[in-house]
């Protein structure tokens, strides 16, 4: 057998249905592939082989939707009793006492949870370099980053170490690595997928979504994980359509907007060229293109880095060494006695109890550099005297950004842009310049701020054989429409079939 690891979920499900193969055959094929390949990619951070094999054998999956297909899981999604660490030292050894809703849904649909994938610590990053387990390498060029934060999920799928994977997207963390690794990544509409059990980064922006090699597989995986959940009050009580009904080969009558602001200065010429070629392909399928404007685009990164860090600083307050993860304590002789400090004129807010000492030491040692930077930025933006200037201001500009999209969607069904301004950058290139790193998300951030769905599709390669991603955005809850465009595009292109 075994080139099973190269097949798509749709192909594998058909083979299983015909009795040609079993879930265990697929799992063994992938584990074998990981043994050979993952030492140079580092896509997986936790992989309990015995558990995976046991789960695969114990399926009574022949009637289920996913029939024992393995799905790799980003390390910030809780899987009961399996290591879930957000690739952070502060969560070392954490085994959640419950499953995220998406995991419950995957299990009900007959999927096998296939290991935890590498990511930027707490999803803070665009390069997968801030993981406490070391970086993931781009399978197309291991001197380059896979993108982030779901870099492990994207690299695993691109390198055939996983059939499908879940990622999470707060400002581009599914789409940007999907683009840089040459796979399909979808950020669903805010509220389409339950966030219960997703370790929160920025609660008003986070969404879980699928990373796959084909649009059909992507739709299949969204079908399984989407839907209302009583455990997440922000999940939408809106019916989930049958996404396979959107697999149509033509795009007749469909209007696609091209926003000026996404094709301005700073766009890599090779990326521009591939996106322009994609436009011609979509036109040949029946779509019409229109110039549109999203005038507040240039403010999106600023708005995002206030809102996302402010929400993160609040969400990450729970990592304090009490309920889970590591605990660090100052030794008694390093602590100044309270009486001595009062005597030396310390103000009341400067007095520390052993508990507060423990918090500070634990968080100081447990969080990596980027996590600290973001918590500090978010805390600053929310602190007394700065709240209005930063946080409230950002929320107001968020309204303007959302209005831009509402206006365009009155005229157009979709908006098409590059997913990233450039192909995969070199390891280490941006790690010491946080602002340059933040600007690599310039095209993906707005969809999170507006809450709309967006997909990244492989749309070609640079001369150096680096993948380029095409982003399509749409109105809230029109994931089906994105699958229509993506499916039609993949029927007439082969970019998604090329191997690293």
Partner 1 sequence: MSPVIDSKNIEYVAKLARIELTLKEIEKITPQLSKILDYINKLNELDTEKVVPTTHVVDLKNVLRKDEVKKSLDRKKALQNTPDKEDGCFKVPKIIS
Residues acting as catalytic residues: 74, 149, 173
Q: Alpha-carbon distance 112 to 338, whole Å?
A: 54
Q: How far is the CB of 360 from partner 1 (least distance, A)?
A: 4
Per CB under 8 A, which region of 36-44, 67-75, 163-171, 392-400 contacts partner 1?
Answer: 392-400
For position 435 contacting partner 1 by CB under 8 A, the verdict is yes
Residues of span 21-80 touching partner 1 by CB under 8 A: none
Between helices 369-382 and 300-315, what is the axis angle to 10°?
A: 100
Identify which of residues 379 and 500 has a Cβ nearer to partner 1 in the complex. 379
Out of 20, 54, 57, 95, the residue judged to bind partner 1 by CB under 8 A: 95
Length of the chain: 500
Rg of the chain in Å (alpha carbons)? 23
Out of 264, 342, 356, 492, the residue judged to bind partner 1 by CB under 8 A: 356
For position 399 contacting partner 1 by CB under 8 A, the verdict is yes
Q: Which of 149, 197, 183, 201 is nearest to 45 (CA)?
A: 149
For position 406 contacting partner 1 by CB under 8 A, the verdict is no
For position 130 contacting partner 1 by CB under 8 A, the verdict is no
Q: Which of 135, 161, 272 is nearest to 213 (CA)?
A: 161
Residues of span 280-299 touching partner 1 by CB under 8 A: 296, 298-299
DSSP track, 269-285: HHHHHHHHHHHHHHHHT
Q: How far is the CB of 381 from partner 1 (least distance, A)?
A: 9
Q: How far is the CB of 299 from partner 1 (least distance, A)?
A: 6
DSSP 8-state secondary structure symbol assigned to residue 265: T
Identify which of residues 196 and 367 has a Cβ nearer to partner 1 in the complex. 367
Q: Count of CB atoms within 10 A of residue 290's CB?
A: 12
Residues of span 193-252 touching partner 1 by CB under 8 A: 204, 230, 233-234, 236
For position 306 contacting partner 1 by CB under 8 A, the verdict is yes
DSSP 8-state secondary structure symbol assigned to residue 211: E
Exposed (0-12), middle (13-18) or buried (19+): which is 44, by Cβ within 10 Å?
Answer: buried
Q: How far is the CB of 439 from partner 1 (least distance, A)?
A: 9
Out of 393, 407, 422, 461, the residue judged to bind partner 1 by CB under 8 A: 393
Identify which of residues 3 and 331 has a Cβ nearer to partner 1 in the complex. 331
For position 89 contacting partner 1 by CB under 8 A, the verdict is no
Bridge partners of 257? Answer: 290, 415
Q: How many chain residues are in contact with partner 1, going by CB under 8 A?
A: 75
For position 97 contacting partner 1 by CB under 8 A, the verdict is yes
Q: How far is the CB of 168 from partner 1 (least distance, A)?
A: 17
Residue window 456-485: x/- pattern of binding to partner 1, with contact defined by CB under 8 A: --------------------x---------
Q: Alpha-carbon distance 329 to 355, whole Å?
A: 9
Give the three-class secondary structure for 70.
strand
For position 184 contacting partner 1 by CB under 8 A, the verdict is no
For position 396 contacting partner 1 by CB under 8 A, the verdict is yes
Residues 6+ apart with CB under 8 A from 31: 49, 52, 53
Q: Count of CB atoms within 10 A of residue 242's CB?
A: 9
Give the three-class secondary structure for 127.
coil
Out of 21, 275, 394, 470, the residue judged to bind partner 1 by CB under 8 A: 394
Identify which of residues 142 and 395 has a Cβ nearer to partner 1 in the complex. 395
Residues of span 308-347 touching partner 1 by CB under 8 A: 313, 317, 320-327, 329, 338
Q: How far is the CB of 103 from partner 1 (least distance, A)?
A: 16
3-state helix, strand, coil in the chain (%, to 5): 45, 15, 40
Q: How far is the CB of 181 from partner 1 (least distance, A)?
A: 27
For residue 455, what is the enclosing H or E element?
A: strand 454-461
For residue 248, what is the enclosing H or E element?
A: none
DSSP 8-state secondary structure symbol assigned to residue 166: E
């Amino acid at each position: 057998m075994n080139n099973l690891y190269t097949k798509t979920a749709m192909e594998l499900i058909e083979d299983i249905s015909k009795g040609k193969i079993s879930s265990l055959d697929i799992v063994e094929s992938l584990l074998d592939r990981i043994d050979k390949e993952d030492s140079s990619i580092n896509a997986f951070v936790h992989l309990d082989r015995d558990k995976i094999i046991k789960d695969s054998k114990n399926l009574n999956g022949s009637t289920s939707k996913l029939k024992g297909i393995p799905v790799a899981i980003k390390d910030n999604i809780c899987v009961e009793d399996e290591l879930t660490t957000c690739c952070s030292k502060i969560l070392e050894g954490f085994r959640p006492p419950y499953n995220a809703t998406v995991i419950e849904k995957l299990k009900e649909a007959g999927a096998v949870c296939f290991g935890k994938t590498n990511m930027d610590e707490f999803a803070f990053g665009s390069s997968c370099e801030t993981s406490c387990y070391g970086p993931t390498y781009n399978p197309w060029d291991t001197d380059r980053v896979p993108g982030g934060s779901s870099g492990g999920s994207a690299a695993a799928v691109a390198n055939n170490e996983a059939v499908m994977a879940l990622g999470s997207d707060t400002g581009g963390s599914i789409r940007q690595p999907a683009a840089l690794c040459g796979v399909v990544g979808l950020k669903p509409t805010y509220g389409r997928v339950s966030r219960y059990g997703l370790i929160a980064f920025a609660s008003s922006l986070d969404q879980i979504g699928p990373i796959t090699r084909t649009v059909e597989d992507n739709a299949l995986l969204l079908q399984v994980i989407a839907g209302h959940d009583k455990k997440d009050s922000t999940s939408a009580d809106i019916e989930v359509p049958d996404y396979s009904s959107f697999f149509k080969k033509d795009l007749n009558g469909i209007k696609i907007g091209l926003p000026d602001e996404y094709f301005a200065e700073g766009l890599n010429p090779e990326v521009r060229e591939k996106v322009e070629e994609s436009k011609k392909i979509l036109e040949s399928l029946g779509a019409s293109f229109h110039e549109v404007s999203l005038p507040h685009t240039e403010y999106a990164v600023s708005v995002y880095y206030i809102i996302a860090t402010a929400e993160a600083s609040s969400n990450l307050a729970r990592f304090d060494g009490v309920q889970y993860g590591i605990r660090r304590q100052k030794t008694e002789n390093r602590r100044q006695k309270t009486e001595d400090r009062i005597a030396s004129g310390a103000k009341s807010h400067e007095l520390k109890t052993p508990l507060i000492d423990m918090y500070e030491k634990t968080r100081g040692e447990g969080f990596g550099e980027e996590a600290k930077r973001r918590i500090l930025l978010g805390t600053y933006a929310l602190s007394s005297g700065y709240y209005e200037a930063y946080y409230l201001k950002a929320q107001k500009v968020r309204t303007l950004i959302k209005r831009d999209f509402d206006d365009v969607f009155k005229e157009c069904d979709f908006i098409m842009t590059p997913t990233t301004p450039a192909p995969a950058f070199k390891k280490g290139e941006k790690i010491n310049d946080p602002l340059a790193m933040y600007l690599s998300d310039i095209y993906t951030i707005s969809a999170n701020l507006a809450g709309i769905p967006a997909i990244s599709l492989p749309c070609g390669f640079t001369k150096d054989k680096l993948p380029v991603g095409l982003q399509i955005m749409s109105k809230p809850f029109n994931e089906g429409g994105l699958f229509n465009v993506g499916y039609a595009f993949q029927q007439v292109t082969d970019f998604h079939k090329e191997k690293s």
